Amino acid sequence: MKKSGGRLPKGFDSDTLVKLEMESNPECLCLVRATVERASEVLHFQESETRAIVRSVDEALANVMRHAYKGAPGRPIEITCRRVRSPENGREPVGIEILLHDRGAKADPKKLKGRPLDEIRPGGLGLHFIRESMDVVEFSRKNGKNQLRLLKYLHPAAHKARSVGE
């Protein structure tokens, strides 16, 4: 989303599709899902892949609200969707990168592993959905902020082959 004839807002670059700021209010999740769905469609992801991306972002935001902010409303969350370009020619879009930032409690590494699916009980499925749906899932913490980086390639096999060959 580039402004014509002016400088880009801070934090944007030419590959930023959209940047959202929201509060930790579950009622706002539908707005983010709609936005991420359109961003994925712009990059020509198939319907099932778009649903997977939307599901991942929604589950990640729900985790931020429930665990990082412990259900407290009105806390800040930033969502950035970026086009990922081919490292070979720097032009061809090859995927979507979504960055989520929050100022909540540091994530517990033990809880980032998910749970075995053979246990039939409520809860603990969100992280499983994210890991099943995205090609890259990375957690980090810097300057009091949690960052979750999600990446999905349009053609994951090509990138797997490339990384194996490197």
Partner 1 sequence: MKIAARETQGSTIFDVSGDIDLAHSPEMRKALLGEIKEKKVPKVFLNLREVRYIDSSGIASLVEGLKASRDVGSRLILFGLSTSVREVMQLSRLQKIFEIYDSEEQALAS
Q: Is 36 in the site for partner 1 (CB under 8 A)?
A: no
Q: For residue 107, what is the enclosing H or E element?
A: none
112 by Cβ neighbours in 10 Å (0-12 / 13-18 / 19+) ranks as: middle
Least Cα distance to 101 among 131, 144, 40 occurs for 144
Q: Is 145 in the site for partner 1 (CB under 8 A)?
A: no
- Tell me which of 12, 78, 101, 129 binds partner 1, using CB under 8 A: 129
Q: Is 26 in the site for partner 1 (CB under 8 A)?
A: yes
Distance from C-alpha of 58 to C-alpha of 100, rounded to nearest angstrom: 11
Q: Is 27 in the site for partner 1 (CB under 8 A)?
A: yes
Q: Is 164 in the site for partner 1 (CB under 8 A)?
A: no
* Structure token digits, residue 6: 């002016």
Q: Is 122 in the site for partner 1 (CB under 8 A)?
A: yes
**Smallest gap, in angstroms, from Cβ of residue 62 to partner 1?**
5
C-beta separation of 57 from 100 below 8 A: yes
CB-based contacts of 158: which residues, under 8 Å, 6+ apart? 94
Q: Is 94 in the site for partner 1 (CB under 8 A)?
A: no
Contact footprint for partner 1 (CB under 8 A): 26-27, 29-30, 33, 48, 51, 54-55, 58-59, 62, 65-66, 117-118, 120-126, 128-129, 132-133
